[in-house]
Amino acid sequence: MIIGQAPGIVELEVNHPFSGRSGVTLRAWLAEAGIGQDELPYRTAVTKCFPGKAATGAGDRRPSPAEIALCVPFLEREIDLVRPAVLILLGQLAIERYWGRVALHEAVGKSRRIERSPQNGAARRRTGTPWTMTLVPLPHPSGASRWLNDQANKELLRRGLRTLRREATKLR
């Protein structure tokens, strides 16, 4: 399962996640990790609505804490329904939500196994059988991100994609 930040303008128009330029980059990364078009994982986002363009004009606006809070129950339910063995965290917002508040270079290229219990309702009562997920953080594939301009960060991405390849191979 892949979690990004929010739908972009193209995704809003076609109603399909990662359909724009970032989707092209994401599919190239997945291919590098040995995941073909016929194996594309379930894709979603922390928030469910296009947040609008950033005031700077570079990329989309980061969803507000209130927007995130409104969408979290839907995201948590998606995870509980899909029960992914691997959760790919694309970009800072998804990484912060499931890995913790860290700089990208502190998470990308690493992985972490966690146990998850299904959540139920606003009280977040744990229900159902727990399962183990491997978290694989990656930078967001947006063209607005300049993080990959640094060679050291490109190596962290390659390391993350190798980790993703190993995890995908285990699932086969």
Q: What is the CATH number of domain 2-171?
A: 3.40.470.10
Give the pLDDT of residue 122.
Answer: 47
Question: Is the four-CA dihedral 54, 95, 140, 6 of positive or negative sign?
Answer: negative
Give the pLDDT of residue 121.
Answer: 53
Distance CA 136, CA 44 (A): 15
Q: CA dist 109 to 68, 92, 135, Å?
A: 26, 14, 11
Confidence of residue 38 (pLDDT cuts 50, 70, 90): confident
- How do residues 57-102 score in pLDDT, each as one tens digit? 777 888 999 999 999 999 999 999 999 999 999 999 999 999 999 9
Is the pLDDT assigned to residue 153 strictly greater than 60? yes
Closest CA to 88 of 6, 168, 19: 168
Confidence of residue 126 (pLDDT cuts 50, 70, 90): low
Q: Where are the domains of the chain?
A: 2-171
